[in-house]
Amino acid sequence: MTSAPFPPPGDKQALEQGDVLTPRFDASGLIAAIATDAGTGEPLMFAWMNDEALRRTLDTGEAHYWSRSRNELWRKGATSGQIQRVVELRVDCDQDAVWLKVKAQGDGGACHTGARSCFYRVVEGGALRRAD
């Protein structure tokens, strides 16, 4: 497993155009992470990663996240079987968010509610309606 810290972000040019991963974690040490289905592009979930979660994801090819409510690292699918195998990981222009294109294992679901995607409701007129 990679143990060296990520290098600090450089200047704007290096951050936006460079070829070195220098994630910009927030004041809580977290970076936003969105996971989508690698085949369909469907958004599956939003979560947070800390330095260790991002490293483990890069090192293992399986999505790891940081639970703010439990204050612990977790490997997606460790208990549910819905392991997310990372096909591609992208970083946004200022390196403060990551996008994981994944192949979900198990039943292909991502949400703890049992839904395939955490984005299973539509907002209509201020009310929520199940999308499926």
Residue 48 main-chain phi, psi, to 5 deg: -115, 150
Check: CB of residue 95 under 8 Å from CB of residue 24.
yes
User: How far apart are alpha carbons 61 and 8 in whole angstroms?
Assistant: 23
Specify the residue for token string 């992208």.
90
How many residues can be counted in the chain? 132
Q: What is the pLDDT of residue 3?
A: 59
Give this prediction's pTM: 0.90
Average per-residue pLDDT in the chain? 93
Q: What is the pLDDT of residue 107?
A: 86
Confidence of residue 56 (pLDDT cuts 50, 70, 90): very high
Check: CB of residue 96 under 8 Å from CB of residue 26.
yes
Q: What is the pLDDT of residues 65-107, one digit of tens each?
A: 999 999 999 999 998 889 999 999 999 999 999 999 999 998 8
